[in-house]
Structure 1
Amino acid sequence: MALNQLLFNIDSYLGQDDFESLKFLCMDLIPFKKLEKMQSCLHLFDELQKSGDLSEDDYSILAELLYLIGQHSLLRMLKTNRNAVKETLREKKYVSMYRRMLFELSENTTKEDQNSITYLLNIPNKFKENKSFLEILFYLDKTGNISEDNVDILENVVGEVSQELLNKIKTYKKETATTTLELLENANLPVSDPPLSIQAVSSTDTEYNNIESLREHVEVIHEVPSETDVEAENYISPLSLHEESKSEVYPMNRKHRGYCVIINNSEFIRSNSRPGTEKDAEELDKVFTWLGFDVVVYNEQKAKQICNIMEDFQMKDHSDRDCFVCCILTHGQSKAIFGTDNEPVNIKSSIVSPFSPSKCKSLAGKPKLFFIQACQGKSEQGSHFIEEDAVVTTNTIPEEADVLIGMSTVDGYISYRHIENGTWYIQALCANLEKMVPKGEDILSILIKVNKEVSEKEHKKKGTILKQMPEPSYTLRMKVVFPIPTSDIVKGQ
Structure 2
Amino acid sequence: MEFLDILYEIDSQLGETDVDAMKFLCKDILQAKKKLEQVDSGRELFDLLMNSDLLKEDDDFLLAELLYLIGQHSLLKKLNTNKETVKEHLPHYGKISHYRQILFEISENITTKDQDEIIFLLKLSKKIKRKASFLELLNYMEKVEMISEDNINTLEKVLTKVSPDLLRITTTYKTLQAQCNHNTNAMSTTGPAVPECETEDLQKPQFSIQVSHMEKPCDGSNTESLGVIVQEVHSEGEGKENYNANIESQVGDLSLNDDEPAPDTSSKIYGMNRKHRGYCLLISNSIFAKSSPRKGTEADVAELTYVFEWLGFEVVTFLDRTANDMKRHLSDVSKRDHSDRDCFVCCIMTHGESGTVMGTDNEILSISEIITYFVAKNCQTLSEKPKIFFIQACQGKPPQSANPIEKDAAATDKKYVPSIPDDADLLIGMSTVDGHCSFRHVREGTWYIQALCANLVDLVPRGEDVLSILTKVNHDVSQKADPANNGKQMPQPNFTLRKKIVFPYPGKPYNPNRQMVTMN
- CA-to-aligned-CA distance 1:71-123 (integer Å, 9 cap, x gap): 11111222222122122123332111111111111111111211111111111
Cα gap change, 1:379 to 1:218, in 2 (>3 Å): closer
Question: Is the contact made by 1:19 and 1:40 (CA closer than 8 Å) also made in structure 2?
Answer: yes
Q: Aligned partners of 1:43, 1:221: CA distance in 2, in Å?
A: 24
What is aligned with 2:65? 64
What is aligned with 1:204? 221
User: So what's the TM-score if we normalise by structure 2?
Assistant: 0.54
Q: Aligned partners of 1:152, 1:354: CA distance in 2, in Å?
A: 47
What is aligned with 2:5? 5
What is aligned with 1:108? 109
The structure carrying a bigger helix percent of its residues is 1
Question: Is the contact made by 1:327 and 1:371 (CA closer than 8 Å) also made in structure 2?
Answer: no
Per the alignment, in what secondary structure is the counterpart of residue 138 of structure 2? helix
Per the alignment, in what secondary structure is the counterpart of residue 91 of structure 2? coil
Cα gap change, 1:183 to 1:218, in 2 (>3 Å): same
Cα gap change, 1:13 to 1:432, in 2 (>3 Å): farther
Q: Aligned partners of 2:388, 2:104: CA distance in 1, in Å?
A: 36
Unaligned regions of 5+ residues in structure 2, if any? 192-217, 225-234, 263-268, 351-357, 365-371, 399-405, 437-464, 479-520
Q: Aligned partners of 1:45, 1:24: CA distance in 2, in Å?
A: 14
Per the alignment, in what secondary structure is the counterpart of residue 93 of structure 2? coil
Amino acid at match of 2:93: K
What is aligned with 1:44? 45
Amino acid at match of 1:332: R
Per the alignment, in what secondary structure is the counterpart of residue 167 of structure 2? helix
Amino acid at match of 2:299: N
Q: How far did residue 124 of structure 1 move?
A: 4.4
Question: Is the contact made by 1:71 and 1:254 (CA closer than 8 Å) also made in structure 2?
Answer: no
Cα gap change, 1:431 to 1:68, in 2 (>3 Å): farther
Q: Aligned partners of 2:292, 2:316: CA distance in 1, in Å?
A: 24
Question: Is the contact made by 2:19 and 2:42 (CA closer than 8 Å) also made in structure 1?
Answer: yes
Question: Is the contact made by 2:172 and 2:252 (CA closer than 8 Å) also made in structure 1?
Answer: no
- CA-to-aligned-CA distance 1:327-364 (integer Å, 9 cap, x gap): 86x63347658xxxxxxxx9759x9579955xxxx866
Q: 2:255 aligns with which of 213, 219, 232?
A: 219
Q: CA RMSD in A?
A: 5.3
Amino acid at match of 2:8: F
Question: Is the contact made by 2:323 and 2:361 (CA closer than 8 Å) also made in structure 1?
Answer: no
Q: Aligned partners of 1:429, 1:488: CA distance in 2, in Å?
A: 28
Q: How far did residue 132 of structure 1 move?
A: 1.1
Q: 1:253 aligns with which of 250, 268, 271?
A: 271
Amino acid at match of 1:179: C
Cα gap change, 1:422 to 1:84, in 2 (>3 Å): farther
Q: How many residues are treated as equivalent by the alignment?
A: 355
What is aligned with 1:151? 152
Q: Aligned partners of 2:148, 2:4: CA distance in 1, in Å?
A: 35
Per the alignment, in what secondary structure is the counterpart of residue 125 of structure 1? coil
Q: How far did residue 273 of structure 1 move?
A: 2.5
Report percent identity of matched pairs.
29
What is aligned with 1:273? 293
What is aligned with 2:15? 15
Cα gap change, 1:14 to 1:317, in 2 (>3 Å): farther
Q: 1:331 aligns with which of 320, 328, 332?
A: 320
Question: Is the contact made by 2:281 and 2:316 (CA closer than 8 Å) also made in structure 1?
Answer: yes
Question: Is the contact made by 2:281 and 2:346 (CA closer than 8 Å) also made in structure 1?
Answer: no
Amino acid at match of 2:182: L
Amino acid at match of 2:10: I
Q: Aligned partners of 2:75, 2:156: CA distance in 1, in Å?
A: 34
What is aligned with 1:133? 134
Following superposition of structure 1 onto structure 2, how do residues 22-41 of structure 1 map, counting pairs within 5 Å? 22-30=22-30, 31-41=32-42
Per the alignment, in what secondary structure is the counterpart of residue 7 of structure 2? helix
Q: How far did residue 225 of structure 1 move?
A: 3.9
Cα gap change, 1:423 to 1:62, in 2 (>3 Å): farther
Question: Is the contact made by 1:265 and 1:274 (CA closer than 8 Å) also made in structure 2?
Answer: no
Question: Is the contact made by 1:327 and 1:372 (CA closer than 8 Å) also made in structure 2?
Answer: no
What is aligned with 2:184? 183
Q: How far did residue 61 of structure 1 move?
A: 0.6
User: So what's the TM-score if we normalise by structure 1?
Assistant: 0.56
Q: How far did residue 301 of structure 1 move?
A: 5.5
